Amino acid sequence: MARQLIDVILAGLLPLTILVHLYLAPYTKVEESFNIQAIHDTLIHGIPTRNATAFFNSHYDHFTFPGPVPRTFVGAVVMSGLTRPLQIILNLLSPGGVDKFTFQLAVRGVLGLLNAAALVHFKRAIDTAYGKVAGRWYIILQASQFHVMFYASRTLPNMFAFSITTLALSNLISAQAVAIRSQKSIKRRRLALYLLTASGIIFRSEIAILLAMQTLYLLVQGKTSLLNEVIPAGIFGLIIGLGVTVSVDSFFWQRFPLWPEFIGFVYNTIQGKSSDWGVSPWHYYFINAIPRLLLNPISWSLCVPLALVNRATLKTSLDIMIPLFAFVAIYSVLPHKEWRFIIYIIPGLTGVAAGGASWIWTRRSKSILYRLLSLGLIASTIASFVGSFSLLYISSLNYPGGEAFTRLHELVPSGQQTPIRVYMDNLSCQTGVTRFLEKDAGSRFVYDKTEDEKTLLDPAFWQQFDYVLAESPERIIGSWEVADVVHGYSGVGLGNLAGKQDSAPALSTRGFIARPLNKILGVYNEVARVASQKVTGGRWPVVKMAPKIHILKRQDVTNMAKPPTDPRLQRCLTRLEHLFASWEECNGKPDNHRKDDTEALFEDAYILPTKIFSLERKEQDIKNKLAKLDEVLESITARMNEVDLDEPQYNDLHQSREIKLEDKSGKSEEVVESIQARMDRFLLDDPYPLYQERNAGFEEHERLSEEHSSVLAEMAKSKETSDKAMETNMEILEERHELEWFGRILDHIEPS
C-alpha cells in the first residue's frame, strides 16, 4: 500500500513541477512567438470557412508578420482544439468575461500536461526494462532537471514533437524488453516508427536522423523486418504526416502545395541560414548540452556508466543509448547547435541513469560503499532540485516585455473612453508581449509593433501614440514622460548589501504561489544582509537587475492654443521635443548623449579598420602569389609544348635513363657521372615531371583563389560593419552638436 501511494505521488510530481514552472514564468520568448500567436488566432478568432484570405489578413498575425519561412500550423490547431473545452468552461464560469492571458496559461498548461503524460508513460517502459525502483528514480531525476520541466509547456516546435518522440522511444524500449517476435512487440515498433516519421515530417526535420538511427540499430540487431515492419511503417507515417501538414498549412498560408518543415530544412540546412544565429564546435552537444540537460552530475558521471558496466543492465542500456548517441553524433556535423535540437534524447538518457541509480539504491544495505553512494545520490538529487528552482527563479526575471505590457494596462485610467494607442518595440515583443496579453478587439486599446526603420524615424509616426514600451527611450521621437520602468535579469555577481540592494529580487508574478515565495525571499535577503555585514563586509552574491523596458506616456502640450497647421512648423516642434527629451536624458551633458552606443561601436568604428588594412595586405599578397604562379604555369606549358615525344632523341635519352639505373650499381664513377649529366639535361625537357609540376601548380592556384575569395568576402563584411559604425558615430556626433546648440538656446531663455 505504501509503495502504491509513493507511485501515485511520484506520478503527480512531473505534472505538478511543470505547472509550477509555468505559473512562475508565465510569459513567452521570441522563439515561441509564432506558435503562441497562431494558437491565439485559431482559439480567439476561430478558423474561417469562407473568404479565408481576407479573414487571415484581418485577424491573423502570420499574414502581417510571416517571418523568413512559413511554419506549420498543425501544433497550433491541435492545441487550440484541446483548449477549446476549457475555454468554454471558463467563459461559463465568468459571465463578466475572462482575461485572454488566462487562455495563454490554459494553452501552455495543456501542452505541459501532454508532455507530462508522455513522460509518465515513459516511466512505465523504464519499469519494464529496469524494474519498479528504476521507474521511481526516473521520475525523481526527470523532475529535478530544469530544461525539460521549464520548456515542457512552451510552444516550441521541439516541444510539440517531444511528447511524440517520447512515446515512440517508450514503445521501442518496451518492445526490446520482451520477446522481439511477439505481436505486441511488432505493434510497438511499428507505432514508434509511425510516430517518429510523422513528427519529423510535421514538426522537426532532425527527427529524421533519430528515426534513421533507431531503424538502422533495429535492423543490425535483427529485431525488425525491413519489408514487414520498417517500410510499411515508414510509408504509413509519411502518408499521415504529409497529408496532415500539407492540407493544414496550405490552407492557413493560402499556398498550395505547402510543406513548411521541408522549406525550413532547405533554408536552415541546405542554404546554411541557421549559421547566422551562431556556430558551435562539433563536441558542443556531448561536452556542454547533455550534461546541462541532465543537470545532476551523479546521473551522468556515475549512474549512466554504472548501467553500462553492470551485466544486468548493459544490454538494455546499450539498446537505448547507441541510437541516441548516434543521432547526436551525426547531428553534430551541422555548425549551428542548440540544446533544444537534441532534447528528445533526454528521457532515454535519464532512464539509463535511473537504471544505474536503482542498482545503487537496492544495494544500500549490503555494504558501506553502496550506502555512501546512496547518500551521494540523494544529496546530488536534492542539489539538482535546488539548482533547478534557482534557474527557474532567475528565468522568471527575464521577461520584461510581458511584465511591462501587464503594468501598462494597470497604469491606464479605467474611466478613459477615448482610444488608447500603444506601441511595443522589438525587445518588448521578444520578451513576453503576445496577442493573448492584448485587450479584446472591442476595447479602447489599439496596438502597433511596426519594425520598419524608415517609419520609426518619421516624427509624424510617433504622434499617434499615447503610450510606448521602449528599451531605449532616447530613440523615441517626441515629448514623453517615463510612467514606469521594468527591470530584468542582468547577471549574477557580487554586490554590496549595506544599502537597499537585495541579494534576490522579489518575483513579479502575481498570485497565491508568488506571495509566500516573495516572503521567503524577503527573509533570505535579511539573513544575507546580516551575514554579509558580519562576515564579508557587505559583499554577497546578488542577482543583478537592470532597466529593460521603459513605459513612456505622451506629455500634454498646454502652451499652444492650437496645433500648428504648417507641416514645416509641426516637424520643427517635433524635433525640438525630441531634442529636449534627449537633453534631459543626458542631464544637460551632450558628451553623454548615447554614450553606451558609442562605446559599443568603438571597436567596429576604430579597431576594425586595422583588421581591414591587414586583410587588404593579405589580399594583395595573395594576388602577387597568384600572378607569380600564373607566370610559372605559362612557362611550364611553353616547355611542355616544345617537347616532341616522337623524336628519336627522346627515345635515346629514355634509354640512357635505363642504362643509368643499371650502371648505378656498378663501380665506374665516370660512367655514372656521365649518365647522370645526360639525364639531368634530359629531365629539363621530360614531360612527366612537367605534368606533375603543372598539376601541383593548378592545385595551388585553386587553393589561393579560394583563399582570395574568402579574404575578399571577409573584407567586404568588415568594411560594411565599419562603415555602418562610422555612420552611426557621425550621426551621434551630429546629434551632440545639435544638443550643444540647443543647450545654448536654453541658457538664453528667461523663465516665464
Cα gap 104→28, rounded to integer Å: 10
Cα gap 495→541, rounded to integer Å: 6
Same domain, yes or no: 373 and 463: no
Same domain, yes or no: 357 and 483: no
Residue range 458-472: mean pLDDT, rounded: 91
Of 346, 371, 396, which residue constitutes the final position of a domain? 396
The confidence band for 96, taking pLDDT boundaries of 50, 70 and 90, is: confident
3-state SS assignment for residue 413? coil
Residue range 561-583: mean pLDDT, rounded: 67
**pLDDT surpasses 80 at 564:** no
Same domain, yes or no: 373 and 347: yes
Same domain, yes or no: 511 and 535: yes
The confidence band for 752, taking pLDDT boundaries of 50, 70 and 90, is: very low
- Domain assignment present for residue 25? The answer is yes
Q: CA nearest 39: which of 105, 119, 88?
A: 105
Question: Which grid coordinates are listed for 564?
Answer: 500648428
Of 396, 429, 459, which residue constitutes the final position of a domain? 396
Measured at the alpha carbon of residue 188, what is the angle toward residues 183 and 189, in degrees to the nearest 5? 100
Same domain, yes or no: 75 and 88: yes
Same domain, yes or no: 358 and 466: no
- Domain assignment present for residue 749? The answer is no
Question: Which grid coordinates are listed for 56?
Answer: 487571415
**pLDDT surpasses 50 at 287:** yes
User: How high is the pLDDT of residue 671?
Assistant: 55
CB hemisphere CA count around 63 (13 angstroms) = 15
Beta-strand pair 445-448/420-424: parallel
Contacts of 597 (CB under 8 A, 6+ apart): 728, 732
DSSP state of 365: T
Range of the domain at 707: 600-742
This prediction has a pTM of: 0.73
**pLDDT surpasses 80 at 300:** yes
User: How high is the pLDDT of residue 68?
Assistant: 87
* Top-confidence residue, 343 or 528: 343
Dihedral sign, Cα of residue 57, residue 442, residue 407, residue 35: negative
User: How high is the pLDDT of residue 644?
Assistant: 54
- Domain assignment present for residue 539? The answer is yes
DSSP state of 507: P
User: How high is the pLDDT of residue 740?
Assistant: 78
- Domain assignment present for residue 496? The answer is yes
The confidence band for 745, taking pLDDT boundaries of 50, 70 and 90, is: confident
- Domain assignment present for residue 590? The answer is no
* Amino acid (1-letter code) at residue 489: Y
Q: Where are the alpha helices (DSSP H) in 131-155?
A: 132-143, 146-151
**pLDDT surpasses 60 at 546:** yes
**pLDDT surpasses 60 at 557:** no
| Continuous segment of H or E residues that includes residue 541 | strand 539-554
For the chain, the average pLDDT equals 85
* Cβ atoms of residues 136 and 10 within 8 Å: yes
Of 364, 396, 428, which residue constitutes the final position of a domain? 396
Same domain, yes or no: 538 and 631: no
Q: Find the distance separating the first CA and the last CA of the chain, reported in whole Å.
A: 85
* Cβ atoms of residues 698 and 626 within 8 Å: no
In Å, how far are 217, 274, 324 from 320, measured between CA atoms?
10, 29, 7
**pLDDT surpasses 50 at 86:** yes
Same domain, yes or no: 192 and 339: yes
- Domain assignment present for residue 119? The answer is yes
Same domain, yes or no: 478 and 374: no
User: How high is the pLDDT of residue 698?
Assistant: 79
* Cβ atoms of residues 331 and 342 within 8 Å: yes
Measured at the alpha carbon of residue 42, what is the angle toward residues 38 and 45, in degrees to the nearest 5? 120
Same domain, yes or no: 235 and 280: yes
| Residue-wise pLDDT tens digits, 111-131 | 999 999 999 999 999 999 999
User: How high is the pLDDT of residue 210?
Assistant: 96
The confidence band for 596, taking pLDDT boundaries of 50, 70 and 90, is: confident
Same domain, yes or no: 506 and 645: no
Q: How many helices (H) and strands (E) does the chain have?
A: 31, 5
- Domain assignment present for residue 142? The answer is yes
* Cβ atoms of residues 282 and 333 within 8 Å: yes
Domain count across the chain? 3
Torsions phi, psi for 437 (to 5 deg): -85, -15
Same domain, yes or no: 439 and 501: yes
